Amino acid sequence: MFDLSSRTAKLVFGGTILLIGFYLFFPIYWMIISSLKANEELYQVLPTFFPRNLTLSHYWSLMTESQLGLYLLNSLITSGASATINTILAIYAGYSFAKYRYPGRQPIMLFMLSAQMFPFGLLLISIYPVMTDFGLLDTRPGLILSYIVFALPVAVYMLYSYFSQVPDELIDAARADGASDFRIFHTIVIPISIPPIVTVFLYSFMWSWNDLLYSMTLIVSEDKRTIGPGLLLTYLNETNADWGGAMAASLVVSAPIVAAFMFLQRYFIQGVTAGAVK
Amino acid sequence: MTDVMQAPGRLDYPVSPHARKGGLQAAQRRIGMLMLAPAAIAFSIIILYPFVQALGLSFFEDTLQTIEPTFIGLANFKAILTDPETWQSFGITVVYVGGATIGTVVLGLGWALILNQPFRGRRVIRALTIMPWVVPSTVSAFVWAWIFNSRFGVINGVLLELELIDVPQAWLSTPEGALAAVILTRIWRSIPLFMAFFLAGLQNVDQEQIDAARVDGAGNSAILRDHLLPHLRPVLIVVVVLGVIGGLQDFDTIFALTGGGPVRATSVLSISVYRKAFEQWDIGMASAMGVLWVATLLPPAYFYLRMLVKGR
Amino acid sequence: ADLSWMGYSYAEESAKPSVEKIIAGFTAKTGKTVEPIPSAFGDLQKNVFLRARSKTLPSVVQISERWLPSLSKLPGLVDYNTVFGKENLEKIYAPEALAMGQIDGKQLAVPLMSGSIGMVANQAALTKAGITDLPTTVEEFKADLVAIRDKVPNSVPYAMATKNNSDILVDFLTWEYVFGAHVIDPEGKVVVDSDASRKALAFLVDLMKERLVAPEIGRPDARRLVGQSAAAFYLDAPQSRTFLRSFSGQGPAFDANIKPMQVPVVKAGDTPVSIQWAHLIISFAQNSPPTKEDANMQFIAYLGDDAVETQFPVEQSALPGTKSARANPVVASDAYLSAWAKNNTHPRRNEVGIWSNGGELTDILAQEVQAALLGQKSADEAISSMSTRMKASMTKAGHAQ
Amino acid sequence: MAKLELSGIRKSFGAVDVLKGIDLTVEDGEFVAFVGPSGCGKSTLLRLICGLDEITAGQMAIDGEIVNDVPPAKRGIAMVFQSYALYPHMTVAGNMGYALRLAGVPKEEIHSRVAAAAKVLRIETYLDRKPRQLSGGQRQRVAIGRAIVREPRIFLFDEPLSNLDAALRVEMRIEIARMKEELGTTMVYVTHDQIEAMTLADKIVVLNGGTVEQVGSPLDLYNKPVNRFVAGFIGSPRMNFLTLGARKADNVHAVSGGEIRLAAKLSEAPAEIGIRPEHISLTARGAPDSLAGKVTMTEHLGSDTYAYVALDGSQDVLVVRLSGEKAIKRNEPIGVHADPGMAHVFSAAGLSLASARPVSLEAA
Amino acid sequence: MAKLELSGIRKSFGAVDVLKGIDLTVEDGEFVAFVGPSGCGKSTLLRLICGLDEITAGQMAIDGEIVNDVPPAKRGIAMVFQSYALYPHMTVAGNMGYALRLAGVPKEEIHSRVAAAAKVLRIETYLDRKPRQLSGGQRQRVAIGRAIVREPRIFLFDEPLSNLDAALRVEMRIEIARMKEELGTTMVYVTHDQIEAMTLADKIVVLNGGTVEQVGSPLDLYNKPVNRFVAGFIGSPRMNFLTLGARKADNVHAVSGGEIRLAAKLSEAPAEIGIRPEHISLTARGAPDSLAGKVTMTEHLGSDTYAYVALDGSQDVLVVRLSGEKAIKRNEPIGVHADPGMAHVFSAAGLSLASARPVSLEAA
Ligand SMILES: Nc1ncnc2c1ncn2[C@@H]1O[C@H](COP(=O)(O)OP(=O)(O)OP(=O)(O)O)[C@@H](O)[C@H]1O
Ligand SMILES: Nc1ncnc2c1ncn2[C@@H]1O[C@H](COP(=O)(O)OP(=O)(O)OP(=O)(O)O)[C@@H](O)[C@H]1O
Ligand SMILES: [Mg+2]
Ligand SMILES: [Mg+2]
């Protein structure tokens, strides 16, 4: 897009890369470095930018002492499941909004979308008794269902946005070939919509993955705790302030998801580019 | 239609045995509604019903003392609206959401522009950029809290080293510092998502249009101002919606980073509602606060979104 | 399970085995099973509250003494007097510990362990600053702090709680008492607006100005600082030892540095101040009315047994709540615990936390103190604003001012 | 194998009437082309025949059965879309076999029918590729293949060649001609392209503004257009139109650069005459039966030369098509001779007054 | 007002050589068309001239000044893009005035220059519309208008009409011809379309695989192609090629259905002869100077008739173009007579052996 042949252009470009790059990546570097410092080096007023002694002690203690693996697993299960449910619901709703006409279609869609502004904390107050009534309090299914709150509306919108761009001719062709509406959707539309679906899945996933509020409230058993509260309760809380451990744990819990994202981000960008948001 | 078919002078044929009743359009309508149903049901149970219930609760006094709520009309709203803390919360929310959204738009756009430019190592940087977004929000709060830490934080360390300050500063203990920190953290976390949207927008730019502008004599800044920004307008609109939603609903980072303090400097609405409900046990008041929030946001949101959906 | 026990100790890595021991012991003795429900300390009140709303209250809950008033209205809360008889309880429990569980003449809680929040010094830090004697008056205290500040680089001489509302409350209350001030009187009148209060707060603000205390320190941070000998004093419960051992990374070897001491007084001879602290046990009736045969009442009875009381509190570095356990040699011979008991003879009530609107009061107090410490308000302004806001809150909670 | 009968077909989208009553019969085995300007409703009509949209009013019958409410797949119809509408995630074989799979045809049969169609279309070697790995022409073939394997009673094509470049278009046109020959199925073909319609169709339907202007064989339309619209629409370069001036005698009218003598006096007043570029030749100025003008521009294609002649005393420009390469001086006075037997006369309402072929055109 | 000189221009994208040394001079005021198959480098060359891409090697001069490193806006060049590349968010006037605005031309002058250009292009009434509110042809005009207002020394067009439908294409072609006449500016025009190139250009450059095959006037290329590629590329329907068989005498070769007699014996062995469809006629079987075959297919356009003739004993099919409407029986023995003076002879390497025009083609 830009012509970088001039010196000023090069300078501005380089300067911006450094500035934003530093902002984005320094914290990550710092997290890694801090996790590798022994406590004596960590708790210093003048920090060292390159640790003098690398130690895996924080990692060692989190492996042996904490329940991090369990929290991580719980988070992956609940976030994964809720993102899946969310995506499935949103796929149908988005397609319905995009390709069918019926009374109330647009107001319903807009209302759903606006609902994304309802304060989650407020909803939680009433979700809690609902979950209790269904016996879902302190259960993974309960948490998973509650997580629908976070992203369903936006997920519906994103897929609506994408499906609107799927050419009608393609659907007509399948109809002429004798496919029913559901058949068309399942065998034609969904297979060609993988990138946007991945995008929506990841977007939903991230909301649940980040959640602190719901899981802190709806889950009390430690064996079902997710990483948000898990980290907070293990490392920085009323009785503890273990920064080195917190950094190491942060890295460990981030690793699988970062790896997965590295793999999926191509689809993610593709999905957005394909019109998941427009 | 039937009357047409019976119109005189028309050839009369037997109706094909495959013909279906009700015609095409009715069938389509039914299928459309059927597909919407699961999401609509989930939405009603998990979002709408709790909201309606909260709406009801906002007219009750429902605190720890009153296990059975008592109806008190608009008293909660009156109490909230006359409480300076409410207004403070609204103010802080505006600063927080506004600051974070603007900051993220600017930096996310800048980063997208950079990553849209071919250079060596671009792929790697693009892949790494996703990181701040995918680390759990608790983690990002940890990292920034650690960076801002008054005793062992790197900011203090660097400033001390450079002798710009002579004693460590407690950044998170000043209202400005704490607000800045939560905003910086929020921006840091959302840059990747915004970047992805902008990048996607940029990848849809018609290269011929940019070429045409170059031939017309446009330099880099003119390309940005006259072509890229107008092109990105729709993306910008969406990104702002997502940014505002994300900012308003953000609880995790702030809660883990400052807990809403010092004093109440970072008590945005989501934190205030939580506090009211789960620390002070005043459900009625918390509901009223939430209802007020929705009442403020819903109408503009609805119209903005309608514009978004229609303007496509 | 026959009963469920929600508690925070079970959520803490270090205390969990001790809890499991209690449960195993109970099951062995009665054949009844206990379902432990862990809940983080900070979340416990919320969890109880939400469970009350959804009518899924556990049968037994471990709570902190200052939450009792706010939980006292919950339906089904057992008055132990009606089950065990007042006299029986008085026979078993130490009076000051039992008193913490009483509200309006009802015995709503019994102590699991008790003690006080008092001051702890770090010998290593004192030595570095060349201080040989522990300070007894406020003046000496401040002089020592200055010495530490100057001799121990990058230290926080007094790791006072300056973040985290409930931590600030305890520290501030302590100094209020030291200066002879009160926040709320026993009748629920807010009396914080006094010269003594102003003096107390001004003293703390002064410490901050002199960089003898630091902002952004909560209890855990304080423990870390002390554990690393970067702070010389702080306020904590006797459990302090357990934490410091762990935070210093030295384990029991660090015990030599942990010095329980008396909180400094304004003038020599004054009674040193400390604040009551306990872990209490409340129960929700399994039958109406509750009887001794109920599983949860059997459990309560078991908790007063020496088997529990000589084990659990000691492992947590705290005093048992029963008379017999206190007399038990295991407890009596623990040097640290006895030193602690000796230094903090007359713990006082937490006069803020005990009200039903304790959460709000704590917030107000902490916010105002913080505002003063951070220089956003003068000490005077903070105290009068605290007074006004607390009065409003108390009025609303039904305590005429 | 099917006869298609439309009677009184109407289609409205909301308040907009797109088709305003179409009556049409397509005989069994006939190849019918729909032509007409953009937006005239060609695609809409095709979609109605296919069953993709609901007919607002009227009746449609295939082989004597009313199919108004029959879903597309049950009509025995296959359609080839303008954008091909290939399923991008399926292989060529998958695309072609999709309809059969849906119909529950056994695997082996699908396989053999796909293979047979692929052979006809010479795409056997691409069967395992995805559409995006194919060139435009190959995609087009797959789209046709998808229609063929279903062995439909009627084929529908919506501008199937419009996305191809000129050379490929010629090639695929010949392909379709071959297919029509081989299959002998009833076909309805929408096109923008003159040549396609003229060369492929047995019968052309000219649509305009939602109504049928004329139905007939290609040469019928070319030689005997019923109105000015059809006359101007069919043929390239398009027919020249000359406005008639004052009536000089019963059957003599003034035109730019001369006058025109009609074979007979007409009851209805003639307004314009039309002459195709290939029916005009250049002569010396003043030659008998010629109008006066001058050449303002020429275009040399090698095989043909187009001369643009401005008639004296008017703004009318006649396009003249001359065979082969002709050297023509520009801006010199010249005569144009139009073959009067090939000219057409139109009324003010645009109707062709077929009986009034002019007998001569001459300079005044 | 400008002369453009390219010498030894090369362009590589990475390891791919797209242009392999182009030498070309475009005289002041000349209209040059680039034609060639897809992917031959036409657009690339145009982009180099415009300055949008960097020249890998070689030199480019405008009016004698080397401009290799001059940015596009400073070359005095305007370009009309295939997709028009209008700025979608600016009005028509904004689009047209954009370059002037960037150049700091005062508002009133921009206004008057835009108005003037709009008048020339007859788009005055659309000046306040956004591009998406315009039809294809109107957009095309705006794109040209945007180029005109800059008063460039050289106009570049990249397939400007390829997105228009047939009728509009004809109209706009005439428009461009008029513009060329009026402005007299140097123009370089890339096209796929035979007719555009033939009718508009003073000089056609045929590109193939990154090199120039032939440069010359349209009729030069049509009549004297230097090689088989150019012969086949120029002219529509394209030239028929017949493979020569065994040499029967010094200057007599076998071809399908007969033999060919060349004017002289050639030093280089001839391999093929080429005859354009318009230079062939149908005769009775066995007529003198004719080859034997039969008509397999006919296409009737009204103005022309195409006959596809399969020559006896081979798979070669000759396309024959006959003027007007001809009724032709299919699959009956027939003779084809080719005008031998119009035939071309090519060597095995595809070079035109211009000296060897055949004297006759006859049935064996
Ligand atoms: N779904 C629709 N809703 C409203 N109007 C429609 C719809 N589909 C088509 N139209 C209108 O119907 C008219 C005919 O459209 P149609 O697509 O049949 O034209 P067409 O003859 O195929 O044109 P083209 O040659 O450009 O493809 C147009 O004016 C169009 O705007
Ligand atoms: N940026 C690029 N990177 C690599 N290869 C390129 C690039 N641009 C063009 N090419 C290649 O250069 C060759 C010539 O492309 P060019 O666009 O000039 O062809 P063209 O003659 O304009 O074709 P068309 O008629 O299809 O427009 C093509 O093979 C193309 O793939
Ligand atoms: Mg159409
Ligand atoms: Mg090109």
Q: Calculate mean pLDDT across residues A172-182.
A: 88
Q: Name the neighbours of D, counting chains with at least 3 Cβ pairs within 8 A.
A: A, B, E
Atom of ligand 1 nearest to the CA of D14: 4
Angstrom distance (rounded) from CA A100 to CA B30: 9
Residues 6 or more apart whose CB falls under 8 angstroms from that of D327 comprise none
For chain E, what are the domain ranges?
A: 4-233, 240-363
Q: Provide the token pair at E343.
A: 């035939």
Angstrom distance (rounded) from CA C20 to CA C10: 8
Do E4-233 and E240-363 agree at the fold level? no
> Ligand 1 mean position to D20 CA, how many Å?
13
**CATH of span E4-233:** 3.40.50.300
Angstrom distance (rounded) from CA D334 to CA B270: 89
* Digit-coded pLDDT (tens) for B137-191: 888 888 898 888 877 788 888 888 888 777 777 788 788 888 999 999 999 999 9
Q: How far is CA B257 from CA B266, D69, E38, in A?
A: 10, 64, 60
CB count in 10 Å sphere of residue E351: 15
Confidence of residue B9 (pLDDT cuts 50, 70, 90): very low
Which of E240, E264, E270 has its CA nearest to residue E250?
E264
Angstrom distance (rounded) from CA A29 to CA A20: 14
Please report where in the chains the tokens 């107050």 appear, as a residue.
A125
Atom of ligand 1 nearest to the CA of D159: 27
* Digit-coded pLDDT (tens) for B70-128: 788 888 888 888 888 888 888 999 999 999 999 999 999 999 999 998 888 888 888 88
Report which DSSP code applies to E283.
E
Give the pLDDT of residue B239: 87
Atom of ligand 2 nearest to the CA of E210: 14
Angstrom distance (rounded) from CA B244 to CA B308: 15
- Compute the CA torsion angle A103, A106, A108, A109 (nearest 10 deg): 140
Q: Three-state DSSP class for E334? A: strand
Q: Name the neighbours of E, counting chains with at least 3 Cβ pairs within 8 A.
A: B, D
B234 to chain E: nearest residue by CA? E89
The ipTM value here is: 0.83
Q: Calculate mean pLDDT across residues C365-370.
A: 89
Q: Choose the mutation target among E13, E67, E79, E110 for the interface with B, i.e. most B CBs under 10 Å.
A: E79
CB-based contact E304:D304 (threshold 8 Å): no
Q: Does C154 touch chain A (CB under 8 A)?
A: yes
> Ligand 1 mean position to D39 CA, how many Å?
5
**pLDDT under 50: residue ranges of chain D:** none
State the smallest CA–CA distance between residue E11 and chain D in angstroms: 26
> Ligand 4 mean position to E81 CA, how many Å?
10
* Digit-coded pLDDT (tens) for A15-31: 999 999 999 999 998 88
Contacts of D52 in chain A (CB under 8 A): 172, 175-176
**D to E CB pairs, distance under 8 Å:** 87
pLDDT at B3 over 50: no
Q: Does E70 touch chain B (CB under 8 A)?
A: no
Atom of ligand 2 nearest to the CA of E53: 1
* Digit-coded pLDDT (tens) for A34-53: 888 877 777 776 777 777 77
For ligand 4, a single-atom ion, the residues with CB < 5 A are E 43
Q: Does D64 touch chain B (CB under 8 A)?
A: yes
A172/D79 Cβ within 8 A: yes
Strand partners, D215: D205
CB count in 10 Å sphere of residue C154: 15
pLDDT at B10 over 60: no
* E331 vs B66 pLDDT, higher one: E331
Phi/psi at B273 (nearest 5 deg)? -60, -45
What class has domain D240-363? mainly beta
Amino acid code (one letter) for C223: R
Q: How far is CA E154 from CA D106, E8, E110, in A?
A: 65, 20, 20
Q: Provide the token pair at B276.
A: 């009211």
Give the pLDDT of residue A266: 78
Between B49-57 and A120-133, two packed helices, what is the crossing angle to 10 degrees?
A: 110
For chain B, what are the domain ranges?
A: 76-134+187-311
Angstrom distance (rounded) from CA E28 to CA E30: 6
Of B130, B160, B188, the CB nearest to A265: B130
D38 lines ligand 1 (CB under 6 A): yes
Q: Does C356 touch chain B (CB under 8 A)?
A: yes
CB-based contact B177:B263 (threshold 8 Å): no
Give the pLDDT of residue B64: 66
E231 lines ligand 2 (CB under 6 A): no
* For the CA of A172, the nearest ligand: 1
H/E run at residue E336:
strand E333-338
Q: Three-state DSSP class for C160? A: coil
Q: How close are the terminal C-alpha atoms of chain B, in Å? A: 35
Which protein residue has the closest C-alpha to ligand 2 atom 16? E41
State the smallest CA–CA distance between residue D282 and chain E in angstroms: 17
* C27 vs B299 pLDDT, higher one: C27
Q: Does E192 touch chain D (CB under 8 A)?
A: yes
Angstrom distance (rounded) from CA A248 to CA A270: 32
Please report where in the chains the tokens 């028009």 appear, as a residue.
E84
Angstrom distance (rounded) from CA B130 to CA A202: 12
Domains annotated on chain A, with CATH = 67-275 (1.10.3720.10)
pLDDT over 70, % of chain D: 98
Residue C375 region, left (φ>0) first, then alpha (ψ -120 to 50), else beta?
Answer: left
pTM, 2 dp: 0.85
Give the pLDDT of residue B4: 43
Give the pLDDT of residue A84: 94
Pick the CATH number of B76-134+187-311 from 3.40.50.1100, 1.10.3720.10, 3.30.460.80, 3.40.50.1580: 1.10.3720.10
A176/D88 Cβ within 8 A: no
A169 to chain D: nearest residue by CA? D85
- Residue/partner pairs of C386-393 with CB below 8 Å, 24 or more apart: C386/C192, C386/C193, C387/C190, C387/C192, C387/C193, C389/C364, C390/C183, C390/C184, C390/C190, C390/C192, C390/C361, C390/C364, C390/C365, C391/C190, C393/C357, C393/C360, C393/C361, C393/C364
D7 to chain B: nearest residue by CA? B10
- Most confident option among A216-220, B147-151, C230-234, C247-251: C230-234
CB-based contact E176:E141 (threshold 8 Å): no
Angstrom distance (rounded) from CA B249 to CA B256: 14
Angstrom distance (rounded) from CA D33 to CA D178: 16
Which protein residue has the closest C-alpha to ligand 2 atom 19? E39
A137/C220 Cβ within 8 A: no
Which protein residue has the closest C-alpha to ligand 1 atom 25? D38
pLDDT at B1 over 60: no
Give the pLDDT of residue B45: 87
> Ligand 1 mean position to A105 CA, how many Å?
24
Q: Provide the token pair at A69.
A: 């693996």
Instruction: Judge if the upstream peptide bond of residue D358 is cis by omega within 30 degrees of 0.
Output: no
CB-based contact B9:D58 (threshold 8 Å): no
Contacts of A173 in chain D (CB under 8 A): 79, 81, 85-87, 146
pLDDT tens, per residue, chain E with 364 residues: 689 999 999 999 988 899 999 999 999 999 999 998 888 899 999 999 999 999 999 999 999 999 998 888 889 899 999 888 899 989 999 999 999 999 899 999 999 999 998 988 888 888 999 998 888 888 988 999 999 898 899 999 998 888 777 777 888 888 888 888 888 899 999 998 888 898 899 999 999 999 999 999 999 999 999 999 999 888 888 899 988 887 777 778 888 777 888 777 777 778 888 999 999 988 888 887 788 888 988 888 888 899 999 888 777 788 999 988 888 888 888 888 888 788 888 988 888 887 667 777 776 5
Angstrom distance (rounded) from CA A217 to CA C56: 14
Give the pLDDT of residue A238: 62
State the smallest CA–CA distance between residue B12 and chain D in angstroms: 8
